[in-house]
Structures are given as C-alpha cells and as structure tokens.
Structure 1
C-alpha cells in the first residue's frame, strides 16, 4: 500500500512539472543530457530516448492522455546497442498522439553504429585496429564508414564479374536446384586466401542473388564448396552457361585506397587510407545494432501500438546480417528484415525522416498492421530495400491481416547494395494500401512488387493503389525478370495509374516496365507513361481480365507489348493506348496465336487449329517512324491479318505527334490523331514526391 502511494506521488510530481508548449505535454532529450534530470525544460533534458519513453508511460499512469505529447530530440548522435521498443502502453490517442521529433531546425541522428578508434599505422601503410568483440564472435559487420562515406571491401575481379565454368543439375528444373558447389575458371578462386570462410561469393542470376561462404577450395579440379546451399541453379538465367559472380572481402585484393578488410578470426580491422586521410583524426563508424525501433503490439490480443509519430529524425548505420546457413537467395530478398519493425501497429507515422547507410530494409510492416503512414522521407544507400509490408495470408486469422497503409511522397534510392534482389516497396500479403507520389530509382531488382500468391489461389493483396510514382534506373544490368512495377496473383480493385516509369535495364531477359506475372487478375492499368525499357513496356506472363487503357508505351528496345502464355479466358483488354517504337521489332511479341481449349480428363488441353479469343485490342495508336504499316508485325501477323482476327478494328497506325520524343517529352500536340481514338492527355506535373 505504501509503495503504491509513493509511486502515484512520484507520477504526480513528474506530471505537475512537465514543460508546457501550447496545449501539449513536452519532454526534451539531448546526447548531452542526464536521465536523472526532469526532462521538462531545454536546460534539463534527458539523455536517452528510452528514458523519455518511460516518462511518457509515467504520464499515462495518471489517466488517459488529455493533450498531445511531444518528445523533442536535440541535435547530436544517439547511439543504440539495442532497439527502442514501443508497446501498447506507449500508445497515444486519436486527438493526443505521442510524437518523437527533431527540435526546431536541428538534426538528431539515431545510429546503430559504433565509433572505431585506436588506429595504428603499419610500415605497409595500412591502418589497423584490434576489435576483441569481433575476435570473440560477438560482432561482425560488412559495412564501414569513414568521414560519412561508405568504404568498400576488397573484391575480385576489381570490376565486373567472373564466370562460373561449370555446375551440376543443368538438366533438372530450369531454375530451382539446390547446390553448394560449382567449378570455377583456373585462378579465379584460390585455396591460399587468408580466412576463406570470411569471403562472400556473390552470384546474381534470374531474380535472385546469393551470398555464400567458402568451405573448401580444390585448385586441382577448380572446385569450390560452400558452407550452405542455394536453391537456384548456377546458370546465367535460363541458359546452360555459368552465371556471373564476384568474391568479396579478399585480403589479397586489399590494394585500392578506401578499401578495408575484417579478419574475424584475428579480430583485426585493416584499412588502406584515401589520400590525406589520418585515421587518428577520422570519424570511423562500423554498424553494430541491427534494429532502431520496434513497434511491438499484439493484434491477436487486440493490444495495438497506436498513434505514435516520428518526425524529422535521421537513422543511420544498422547492422543486419543473414542468419547462419541462409544465403539470401529469395525474390525481393525476403530473408532481409527491417531496421524499423512494426507488428500490431495502427495509426503510427514516420514523417520527414531520413534513413541512410543501412544494411537491411528500412521498414518491415508485419502482421496485424493497418492505417500506418510513411511520408515525405528519404531512404537511400541501403543494403536492402525501402519498405517491406506483409501480414497474414488468406488462410490466416483476420486479426493478422495487414492493410490500408500509406507510403507516399518518399524518395527511395540506391538500394540492394548488399542484397541485390531487394525492392523499393514490396507488398507481400497485404491489401488496401496506397503507394503514391514516391520517387524510386537505382535499384537492382523491381522498384515496386506486390502479390506473393502465384497463380489463381486466394490472395489478400487486393485493392492496392499505385499512383503518381516516378520510377527509373531499375535493374542496372544486375538481375533479370523484373518490372518497374511487378505484380502477381488475383488482385481485384488494384489500380496502377499515372506512374512515370523509364530506364529499366535487366541483365538478361525481362527488363519490363509494368509486369503482370503469374495469375495477375482484375488489375486496372491506366494513364501511365513507360519508356526506354530493355524489354516490353508492358509484359504479362499469364493472368486474367486485366485492363490497360490510356497508357503510353514507348521506345522498348527488344519488345513493346509481350504476352508469355495464353489461357482459356481473356488475358487482358488493351484500349486507347499509344505504342511508339523505333527498333526493327514487332509491335507485339510472345504468344498471340489463339487456340481452342479442349478439356480432357485431369487437365486442360489445347490445339492450334481454331482461334478462340484470349485478348481484346481496340482504339489503339501504333507508330514506328522507321517502318511502314505493311512492314509491322503483330505477333506473327500483318496488321491486316491481325484485324481479320477481330483485333484493333478501330485502331490506327500514325504519328502520335509527341512534343519531343527524342527528349522523352510525350505530351501530345493538339492535332494528334490519338484524340480521335478517345485518348486523354496524361498529366505528369505532380508525379513523384510533393513538398
């Protein structure tokens, strides 16, 4: 009884002394503060964010919040060794959110990194520091920052890739094959390398990239074996040739300024300095903590984390590592977690934050999350991707479902620097989300990916809206089978509109602008401009009754519109689109010879005699300034033959009269023939992030 009285009294004293800032409860935090201070004035700040969180808890113990709470973070670096955890007890309320934000015009930096000091320079010019935690196995890292800049690990070859000479299981699955070894070309991998178990062998192919540690090397047979298996063939996509690869963290390759090497066994960090760098005065940071924030609710118990906002904060240097035995070779890098983890979170927001120099995804919005917002933020120079979102699937309890979240007005760039298959925004089992007005660029795989049910099985990834996003420089010749926007599965209510997508460059096949993969169904694709793609501006592997209208697909280099598989239904309808190209290639590529489907016991069957309609094309405008209409092919058909198949009966072949297609200005002149076909101008003036 006495202890309870004392606790209440302490809370009363704390609340009565809280700083007032308008009609708000205010706390202050500073790296120069003191957790024993009151935290209620600029002169008496707390030192840690955790202490401020506990102060908010104390306020809530006196009763429900009756005014918003603001925790101001002052300028400086806040070093974390463990994540900041917020639970349901830390929640705000609809009219009284709890906000952690930067103090006026200041830049608080939350870091998962550790400063590294105590460097000595050897006679060879290399700087060295001893790291006991590395030697004991408690710490490892794959990134190092010197004076704010990422430095590289030594790799071979110095530029480009080696090629795998031979690999097993060539004649099994075209892509899936578990393997832990391959044959290299003589001299590319050496048994004499220092600590080969610390070396990463990175193999990008198909839509994945694997990282494997060396177990043994036999230079007599040029054979390398790894500590864990990959699930994909070591082939260059679907060919029988060996894939490309490079090796990283090779001590013997440490010869360029700005390179570093970590010898985990000896606990030594070596660095070759850039000209003029003195490591005794340099700011050197290595990532240590894997996560910054965990919003940790329990949706099954309806104990949500709610109405917590973060604004104007900068997050840098987290240290996420693949689990032992995991080589990271999944589509969109599913093994890679987020530096911010949200589970059972509702109505929370990150606004005008910066996430930079990370080793993982920035955000992981997991099960039981809804109505959260990530807005006006920058996510750049990332080992993983920007945002991954995924809750329960169609078979799971409804309280595990995730949806109705907003990702808008963000810039997500230079991602996948460690885990190449990571995606800018990846929606896995989640519906009703809005992904709008983002700039996503310089990725090695798809900028946006959604779905995660292959084929026509039930999916919860429905009613997602992707609009006004500016997507460019996707692929960069590293992976294949990608899209600026990638979709799969049954997705009624999903809309892809008013996006500007360009410069999609895969390594091999499949550098597509908009890509409806396996089972994509009932998707509306309208008012998009897609140009300068290696492959088709639009590709459908297989799907059902999708609608493409009022889009511009321009300047595909190998394809314009492609379909990989026909099925016994309408794959898609294409109306009032402009298709413009300059290469000596068909307007349509892939499978267009419609077939009559006949059901036989156990499976559908088809022959190639008749022509059941599996697509609808009309009121489109086609043009290639280097071809006459008689020279243009629509699949295997001439235009007249294509129309005889009752396709594009009202379509035209004419110059669309773009303002300046050579400068990628696809606005239409007033006299454009597209208008007579019902085409409406596409306004791209508000595409990308808004202020």
Structure 2
C-alpha cells in the first residue's frame, strides 16, 4: 500500500508539470489563481470554464490552508468540459489543510435565564444539527439524554391504537405545552427509527393520546408486519424550548429566528465555536452515463457541516441505513455527492458533521478508490454506494469495481440511529478491506438490498480484514456485517468483530456478528474472528427458506493473525 500511495503522489506531481495549476485561498480574489495571487472558491468554476475554452490541458487545483465558508456547493461536472480537458487533482496545498465548510458560526450570544443563551440567526434558516467545538450537541429532548452510547434513556409506548391511528402513552411522559408545533416523537421499532411530527395530544385520565401529521402518519401506520406496533417501543420527544433544561441542549425558534443554547457548567459561551449547517452538500462531482468524469483525485481536504431538512418537512419513517419507507428518493444527501465517475480517487480526506451521510456514490461510479479517510460525527451513514438500487441497471448506472480501504468510520447514526458505516446496495466486484468501523447505534456495514430470490447485478464483492467493534449499540436485527439477496461470488473473509452486546433498549430480535438475511445466497464466510460479544449470535442465517447455498469455513478460532491484520494498515 505504501508503494501505491507513492505512485499516486508521483502521478499528481508529474501532472502539475504538464498541466495548469490553480491556487485558491479562503481570502483569495485574484483572477490569475497563482500561488502568490490565489483566487476564490466561488470564482473557481468560472476560471475552469475559461481555461477549457482556451486550450486542452489537465488542471490541478490546490486549496491553501484555512476554512472556506460556502453558501453554495462546489460543482465539478463534465458539462463545463467541452474539450475533453479534465481536472486531475483537487487537493489541499502541500503541508496545508483546507476545510470546506457548509456551516456558519453563531456568535453575539445574550444571556437569557436558567443558564440559557440566545442568538439571532438569519431569517428563514432551518437546521437539525448544531456543533459545539466540532461535536454534535443535543437537539432539545425529553427525557434528557444521559448516555452517549445508546442515546438513552427513553420512555416506552403503552400501546398502539392501530385502527384509530393513535399512540397511547403514560400521561406524565407527555408534558403539557401551549403548542406541539414542530415537536417530534422519535421512536425505535426494531431496525426502524421513526421521527413523526405531533399533530395533537389528547389527555385521558392517566394517559396521553398522540396523533401524527401527514405525510408521515399513513406511512407509520402502514407498517403492519414485524410487530412494529407492539407495546414498549422506546421513544422520546424532541424540539421544544421547554426541553432546553440541561447542558449542551439547543432549540431553534424558526418564526423568530432565535437560537437557544445551554452550555455546560463553567463553559464560557464566548470561547465556544458554535456552528450550524446551511448546505445539504458541499461538493458535487460527476458526469453523465454517456460521458463520466474520469481520473480525478480528491486529496487531503476536510468536508464539514451539512444539513438535511426533509425530516423537518415530512417526518422520517426509516428502515435500515435511514432509507425512507415509501420515499426512496428522499434518503439523504452526502457532504460529497458523486455520480457517473470512473477512476476517481478520494484519499486522506475527512468527512465530519454530516446532516445525513458522509460520502455518497449515487450511481455510475466505477473503478474508483476511497482510502485513508476519516468519517465522524455523522447523522446517518458514513458511506452510501448506489442510491438507484434497481436490480438490473444499465452498465452506465451500475456501481462496480470500487475499492473502499483503510478508512476510519466512527460516530455514525448520531441522529438517524439506524445509520451505519457503509451501505452498498446493488454493487458488484467491490473490495471493502482494512477499514475500522466503530461507535454505531446500528450496523457496521450492509452489502445488498431487497431483490428477493431473483438474481440481480449484485455479486462478487470481497469484504475482508475489517476491524468492526462497538456497533449495534441501540437497535436489534442486524450485525457488524449484514447481507441481503443473492450475491454469487461474494466473500466475507478474515474480519475481526468484537466488543459489543445487545442494548437494554433493543427490541426482541437478535443482535448478530455476521448476519446473512433475506435471500442471502451463494456467499462464502471464512476465517472470521469474534471476540467479547455479549448476547450476540456470532453467525446467523435468516431462518426462512430463502437463504441457501452459503459456505461457512473456520469461523470459530481466535486467530491472532486475523486480529493483527484487521483494520487500517500502518503506512
């Protein structure tokens, strides 16, 4: 791997000599985009178009160190490339670090009461996350969160009135508020997380009866299988000023554009960096099915702070990986979005503070590498590969032959708790190796999606040498590595899965190590090591007749070599 990285760097510097190099800085404004007179990020696309109209040559872009506040995504698309010239490198300048930020800093705080501070935000601004010194703060909730692992405690639903489409809880669990506008009931149902906006509350003696808003209400009540409406489902309420009563909670009053935040004891709010996201994605890369973007390296850049507002407008009824039930086109954006790209390399970057996902390969991404990156503070999934998800995709749309290696993926599913490290749906010939995945409320990774017992283009994926631990911290019915559907030639080899158990808030289904679920067939599982698992089934196949022709070899050892080789390789 060390050799591969040296070759990559050598190729980049060779290109610099042959092509045109542009320099950008946070305070740049020059039209020359030179090292001494750098340009601005906002004017970069126009500069690229100008170069391409004049001559054919590769373009190298260096971002000088510092923070780049963004009010619109940076787009690197083939439509701006009429002459076949191409951008070959987008990177931080050598020995510097560029931070592309989709957030704005909130300042000018005023003390209110009870240790709460207020600040004005731009009129019309909406957001679902707030970061204090780079860490996700708590959107005001009841009961208060005291556990950063399972994000508990929770109340439990008394019963579901399915015919009447009402949830009944203990009356004392639902505070009396002047208005429930904007308040969400956040509920865990096996592998689902439901975020439903409250339409009304009726008091009945010792109970409270809740009704939900549309469009999410009929979707929520349409989940008639898998015991989704049995009692005792964990829940909490979120998003009301009255809930701001403990350290690190916040609330946005959108009508008055007023933000409320309660810092911890002894913390000087004037010394805190408080950031809220304003963009849903920071970088959009790609081409078309007929003409994909090719041979671009994105290197050593921090992508920080994105938003995702669909749940505020219509709730969120989400199956695994925050995939929206009955709203497949609304499953979230990435800090970086890629489509129709070949020989793309994303190396040494950081993805942090995502309102939904870190990196999304939506469709048509092929022969590409994601290596040596750090994903953290992610609301849903670290990586998503293939959002099209149809079983028989044209060659141009299918995601194939990508390598995901040596990445640290941690602190995922922080807002949409059934998020995970990696979701790869209808993919083929992917290699997912030498990654470390940790601190996930749900799974480490999912390979495949719901294609029934039919063959699709899902096949020949290699999952090996991954170090996966501290996952399944909240939900049930999942595992460190999880598969769905027929995928001939897929192999799960020499992974180390360790140090987690079943949460007290998990539902009645098992928690697993490697789980071959519905229709998972023709998969080889070999030489994996499981350590320090409590109330966890190490290997599980779905108990129905849909799972068949899988091979299991030597998955009961404590081979020290497997442990030593798992996870990120030293360079």
TM-score range, shorter chain: 0.7 to 0.9
Partner of 1:325: 314
Partner of 2:133: 147
Partner of 2:564: 685
Q: 1:196 to 1:239 in 2, by over 3 A?
A: closer
Q: 2:291 aligns with which of 299, 303, 307?
A: 303
Partner of 1:553: none
Cα distance, 1:144 vs. partner? 1.5
Q: What SS class does the counterpart of residue 242 from structure 2 fall into?
A: helix
Q: 1:531 to 1:180 in 2, by over 3 A?
A: farther
Counterpart contact for 1:433–1:465, Cα < 8 Å? yes
Does 2:241 correspond to 1:255? no
2:223, 2:376 → 1: CA distance?
A: 31
1:438, 1:358 → 2: CA distance?
A: 20
User: Structure 2 matches for 1:354-369, cutoff 5 A?
Assistant: 354-369=350-365
Q: What SS class does the counterpart of residue 360 from structure 2 fall into?
A: strand
Q: 1:238 to 1:537 in 2, by over 3 A?
A: farther
Q: 1:296 to 1:576 in 2, by over 3 A?
A: closer
Cα distance, 1:105 vs. partner? 2.0
Divergent runs of 4+, >6 A: 91-96
Cα distance, 1:667 vs. partner? 3.5
1:361-383 CA distance string (max 9 Å, x none): 11111122211221100001110
Partner of 1:275: 265
Partner of 2:10: none
Q: 1:485 to 1:215 in 2, by over 3 A?
A: same
Cα distance, 1:39 vs. partner? 0.9
Partner of 2:6: none
Does 2:43 correspond to 1:25? no
1:376, 1:187 → 2: CA distance?
A: 49
2:114, 2:277 → 1: CA distance?
A: 27
Q: What SS class does the counterpart of residue 172 from structure 2 fall into?
A: coil
Partner of 1:550: none
Cα distance, 1:97 vs. partner? 5.3
Counterpart contact for 1:234–1:243, Cα < 8 Å? no
User: Structure 2 matches for 1:88-103, cutoff 5 A?
Assistant: 88-89=78-79, 98-103=88-93
The root-mean-square deviation of aligned C-alpha atoms, in Å, is 2.7
Cα distance, 1:181 vs. partner? 3.0
Q: What SS class does the counterpart of residue 578 from structure 1 fall into?
A: coil
Q: 2:203 aligns with which of 216, 219, 222?
A: 219
Cα distance, 1:409 vs. partner? 0.7
Does 2:552 correspond to 1:578? no
Partner of 1:595: none
Q: What SS class does the counterpart of residue 197 from structure 1 fall into?
A: coil
Q: 1:393 aligns with which of 390, 394, 410?
A: 390
Q: 1:37 aligns with which of 28, 31, 40?
A: 31
Cα distance, 1:295 vs. partner? 1.5
Does 2:465 correspond to 1:472? no
Cα distance, 1:328 vs. partner? 3.5
Partner of 1:343: 339
Cα distance, 1:234 vs. partner? 9.6
Q: 1:243 aligns with which of 233, 252, 258?
A: 233
Which stretches in structure 1 are left out of the alignment for 5+ residues?
Answer: 1-19, 171-178, 542-563, 580-665, 669-681
Select between 364-373 and 416-425 the one with higher mean Cα deviation: 364-373
Q: 1:31 to 1:576 in 2, by over 3 A?
A: closer
Q: 1:575 to 1:317 in 2, by over 3 A?
A: closer
Counterpart contact for 1:143–1:286, Cα < 8 Å? yes
Cα distance, 1:338 vs. partner? 1.8
Partner of 2:326: none
Does 2:42 correspond to 1:46? no
Which stretches in structure 2 are left out of the alignment for 5+ residues?
Answer: 1-14, 146-152, 324-330
Does 2:42 correspond to 1:163? no
Cα distance, 1:21 vs. partner? 5.5
Counterpart contact for 2:389–2:449, Cα < 8 Å? no
Q: What SS class does the counterpart of residue 181 from structure 2 fall into?
A: helix
Counterpart contact for 2:135–2:377, Cα < 8 Å? no
1:575, 1:378 → 2: CA distance?
A: 32
Counterpart contact for 1:414–1:442, Cα < 8 Å? yes
Counterpart contact for 1:236–1:242, Cα < 8 Å? no
1:306, 1:161 → 2: CA distance?
A: 48
Q: 1:575 to 1:143 in 2, by over 3 A?
A: closer
Q: 2:402 aligns with which of 405, 418, 422?
A: 405
Partner of 1:428: 425
2:275, 2:199 → 1: CA distance?
A: 30
Q: 1:186 aligns with which of 171, 184, 203?
A: 171
Counterpart contact for 1:451–1:459, Cα < 8 Å? no
Q: What SS class does the counterpart of residue 419 from structure 1 fall into?
A: coil
2:551, 2:76 → 1: CA distance?
A: 48
Q: 1:311 to 1:271 in 2, by over 3 A?
A: same
Does 2:47 correspond to 1:59? no
Relative CO higher for 1 or 2, CA cutoff 8 Å, sep ≥ 6? 2
TM-score of the aligned structures, taking structure 2 as reference length: 0.86
1:204, 1:462 → 2: CA distance?
A: 32
